[in-house]
Chain A
């Protein structure tokens, strides 16, 4: 245990944790949205994220960028960022819709037991990550330096980089937009209605199938953004990247109260910071173990997560 290490580096660890937590939070939204509506763990969501991490790399690759390229100037950077984000969002969204169509819809028609959905999702997750694994020869792929991390704010020994600010800000903005969409728009009202009571919603004229597709799509969009942020922050991606971060994201969703959008944000940021602190205290090998111990402790006292289950305020 390295207490002095934690205390000396408290600021940097916290900021790094917040940035990681912002990515986890965006990723966790997919789990929480689907759970809120279908009451199912969308196990394949980790692969929705994974294809996002590759989609933007492939687009950047078309422009001849690889990890050894020189850093582009500001205008080009903006263009590449926009292209990468669009590519990741489109591909992740499409894959999310595809997963719903292949692994969920046929079972829903047959009114299968909940475990069956979990297993088809596991099957989809396995198939996608393994195909990516085979296609990339299980090698990791480097990310071109679109944005060079550079310190912009210094408080004491805490150096906050432009990348960290970008990630946290983007996550907060997306959360706000999504929250407004769910709570303020007509489509969002449909989502909340189905989350509250699927049968009544269907009787009131809500198209349940369309709402479910929409929910998968929204989760996919958020995962796509998280994927680009992940690429820029970590610098490499690999076929199992989705699975590993997916565990964190799912943990975060549960921590905040699965099915609850604001819970996902809180859970994600909290988990990121806690993991970062745990890495400082026990060494980075132990970060996941510490996070899980904490999760168990929190669930012992609040069995349905910090903010409780509800999609938006529909169930409150």
Chain B
């Protein structure tokens, strides 16, 4: 008992010393933190109504796209960012093909439920029934990707993961079973009725956003607990120095595979939600730029920190959506959204190389390194 008390005491004191909002948050007793977290979650549920706030509200909401839909887009981007954060931020495995798992989740749902699927006469399941199978498939895909790449480091891993996502996209584009550009139509929506009305309809995106939010909160809890467990400490050790970790008895193979399959699982969740909301998917959704965008979000927000990943994931979806429908001097800014987004990424990374909300540990490492280096 006393051993664990000492072990948990030390790092906390060093965090409590830090200033700012997060320093304050860290110094509060457990119940205050719980209340603040609950309040934040409750506020997140009210986001669809942000446009009703006088003055500020109309500035925040997107003009060219229905605001709840924009929020739903943000929710699955946030999910993907959270999942990729496990792989890149915690375990330090550079994954450039994360969209592959998103695709497996979405296609897993589609092929089990859509009437266009070759399996339709056997399956034709409801959305909810397809979810566990699709998620199992993505975890398996995570293992399949993880297994041959265990020996690879850094950039070799990056190119193989990139290739993995491309292979999934090419298979989806060029095989009869996955229907390429024609895609799958009629993917059922999530179930449920309220006062005799269907909750998850086609016109109102708010329930989908709330569903996404519930999933996000569940994922945050799950990942937070993993991060503070043996698994999380092993990831950290692998990220910092794989050889040293292995020598100290960390089973690197096992925990790298864990990182891949948990990351894949979360990406699959995003895909399943996406398929359930859209009702239609085709291969052109799952392009490589998508994974690169999510990676940019994670690193921009603060790799290795969930708050950062959430912010980054939300921003990569929000900025382009917000630019839609704004015209300056006759040209629609939507046309320039990605170009401007690219410039924004560069500016943010130059001003805050450790990300917008960096992991505290990472920030300290960076400070240490900055002292060591001789100026160029």
Contact = CB atoms under 8 A, between A and B. Distances in A.
Contacts of B153: 303
Interface stretch (A147-155, A174-182, A223-231, A283-291): A283-291
A109 interface: yes
Interface in A106-131: 106-113, 115-116, 118-120, 122-128, 130-131
Interface string B34-48: 000000000000000
B354 A113 contact: yes
B222 interface: no
Contact of B342 (A126, A208, A209, A251): A126
Interface string B157-194: 01110111011001101100000000000000000000
B346 A123 contact: yes
Contacts of B292: 122
Interface in B281-306: 288-289, 292, 295-296, 299-300, 303
Given A288-B170, A289-B167, A296-B148, A119 B295 contact: yes
A289 B164 CA distance: 9
A116 B299 contact: yes
A125 B296 CA distance: 12
A112 B152 contact: no
Given A199-B374, A202-B374, A254 B166 contact: no
Interface stretch (B6-14, B58-66, B260-268, B331-339): B331-339
Given A120-B350, A292-B164, A303-B156, A109 B342 contact: no
A293 B167 contact: yes
B297 to A, nearest CB: 9
B375 interface: yes
Interface in A123-161: 123-128, 130-131, 133-134
A295 interface: yes
Contacts of A311: none
**Chain B contact residues, majority secondary structure:** helix
Contact of B160 (A126, A134, A296): A296
Contacts, number: 144
B115 to A, nearest CB: 26
A219 to B, nearest CB: 16
Nearest to B338: A130
A111 B370 CA distance: 6
A81 interface: no
Nearest to B145: A296
B345 A247 contact: no
A124 to B, nearest CB: 6
Contacts of B288: 247
A230 to B, nearest CB: 20
A265 interface: no
Contacts of A273: none
Contacts of B15: none
B350 A289 contact: no
Given A103-B346, A112-B349, A286 B88 contact: no
A224 to B, nearest CB: 22
B369 A123 contact: no
A310 B3 CA distance: 48
B366 interface: yes
B152 A118 contact: no
A305 B353 CA distance: 30
B341 interface: yes
B135 interface: no
Contact of B350 (A106, A250, A303): A106
Nearest to A212: B376
Interface of B: 88, 94, 148-149, 151-153, 155-156, 158-160, 162-164, 166-167, 170-171, 173-174, 288-289, 292, 295-296, 299-300, 303, 335-336, 338-346, 349-350, 353-354, 362, 366, 369-370, 373-376
Interface of A: 35, 41, 102-103, 106-113, 115-116, 118-120, 122-128, 130-131, 133-134, 199, 202, 208-209, 243, 247, 250-251, 254, 258, 285-286, 288-289, 291-293, 295-296, 299-300, 303-305
Given A123-B346, A289-B167, A295-B160, 20 more contacts: A103-B346, A112-B353, A113-B362, A115-B94, A118-B299, A122-B342, A126-B289, A127-B341, A128-B342, A130-B342, A131-B336, A202-B374, A208-B376, A209-B376, A250-B159, A258-B156, A289-B171, A296-B149, A300-B148, A303-B153
